Amino acid sequence: MEHSEIVRLFETYSDDVFRLALSYLHNKQDAEDVCQSVFMKLIDYKKPIEKGKEKPWLLTCAVNASKDHLKSFWRRNTVELDETIVFSCEIDKELWEAVNSLAPKYRVVVHLYYYEGYSQDEIAAILKISRTAVQTRMSRARSKLKEVLSKYE
Amino acid sequence: MNKAYRRLMAQQCLSDQTKQDIYGNLQMLEPNKPRSVRLKAAIVAACIMLMIPISVLAAEHIFGIAIFNRVEHATIHEQPGIAYEIRFNTIKNRPITDFSEHLQRLEETTVVCYDSWEDAEKDLGIDLISNSIFTDGKTEQILPYVSEGTPQASHCEGVYCVADGQLFYSKISAVYQRSRVKFMVSANLTVKHPTIADGELRKSHGFEYVYFQKDDPVFTTEQYTTKNGIPMTISIVNGADFSDDQAGYTDYNVYFAVNDVSYKVSIVGCEGVWNDSHMYTVLCEVLEGFVI
Cβ(B162)–Cβ(B243) below 8 Å? no
ipTM over 0.85: no
State the amino acid at position B290 in one-letter form.
F
Higher pLDDT, B209 or A143: A143
Residue A152 is nearest to which of B4, B12, B18, comparing CB atoms?
Answer: B4
Cβ pair B8:A40 closer than 8 A: no
CA dist A84 and A78 (Å) reads 17
Residues of chain B with Cβ-Cβ distance to A5 below 8 Å are none
Residue A84 has pLDDT above 70, yes or no: no
Instruction: Measure the CA–CA gap between B155 and B143, rounded to whole angstroms.
Output: 5
Q: At what angle do helices A54-73 and A28-44 cross, to 10 degrees?
A: 130
φ, ψ for residue B186, nearest 5 deg: -135, 150
What average pLDDT does range A127-137 have in this prediction? 88
pLDDT reported for residue B245: 47
**Which residues in chain A have Cβ-Cβ distances shorter than 8 Å to B30?**
3
Which pTM was predicted?
0.55
Written as one letter, the residue type at B268 is V
Say whether B260 sits in a helix, a strand or coil.
coil
Residues of A in contact with B150 (CB under 8 A): 103, 106, 140
Q: Using alpha carbons only, what angle is made at residue B151 by residues B146 and B152, rounded to the nearest 5 degrees?
A: 75
Q: If DSSP states are collapsed to H, E and C, what string results for chain A? A: CCHHHHHHHHHHHHHHHHHHHHHHHCCHHHHHHHHHHHHHHHHHCCCCCCCCCHHHHHHHHHHHHHHHHHHHHCCCCCCCCCCCCCCCCHHHHHHHHHHHCCCHHHHHHHHHHHHCCCCHHHHHHHHCCCHHHHHHHHHHHHHHHHHHHHHHC
- The pLDDT, as a whole number, for residue B129 is 92
What is the DSSP code (8-state) at residue B214? S
Pairing of strands B166-178, B139-142: antiparallel
Rounded mean pLDDT, A98-125: 88
Task: State how far the Cα of A101 lies from the Cα of A24, in Å rounded to an integer.
Answer: 11
Strand B261-270 with B181-190, pairing: antiparallel
What is the model's pLDDT at position B46?
37
**Whose CA is closest to A82, among A30, A44, A38, A35?**
A30
Please report, to the nearest 10 degrees, the dihedral formed by the alpha carbons of residues B36, B40, B44, B45 taken in order: -20
What is the C-alpha separation between A75 and A125, in angstroms, rounded?
A: 30
A73 pLDDT higher than 70: no
Return the closest-CA partner of residue B48 out of B75, B69, B64: B69
Mutate to test the interface with A, among B6, B7, B8, B196 (most CBs of A within 10 A): B8
Buried b (16+ CB within 10 A) or exposed e, B135-150: eeeebeebebeeeeeb
What's the pLDDT at B50? Answer: 34
Alpha-carbon gap, residue B281 to B266, rounded angstroms:
13
CB pairs under 8 A between A and B: 144
Give the pLDDT confidence score for residue B249 in this predicted structure. 67
Top residue of B3, B14, B262 to mutate, by most chain A CBs within 10 Å, is B14
pLDDT per residue, tens digit, chain B (292 aa), is 677 788 888 888 888 888 888 887 777 664 444 433 333 333 333 333 333 333 332 333 333 344 444 444 433 334 445 555 566 666 788 899 999 999 999 988 888 888 889 899 999 999 999 999 988 889 988 876 554 444 556 778 888 988 888 898 898 999 899 999 999 999 989 898 888 777 777 665 555 444 444 455 566 778 889 998 898 888 887 654 444 444 556 778 898 888 888 899 988 888 877 778 888 999 999 999 999 8
Assess contact for B86 and B235: CB atoms under 8 A: yes
Nearest beta carbon to residue A115 from set B5, B148, B208 = B5
* CB contact residues (below 8 A), chain A span 113-152, against chain B: 114-115, 125-126, 128, 130-132, 135-136, 138-140, 143-145, 148-149, 152
Cβ neighbours around B80 below 10 Å, total = 16
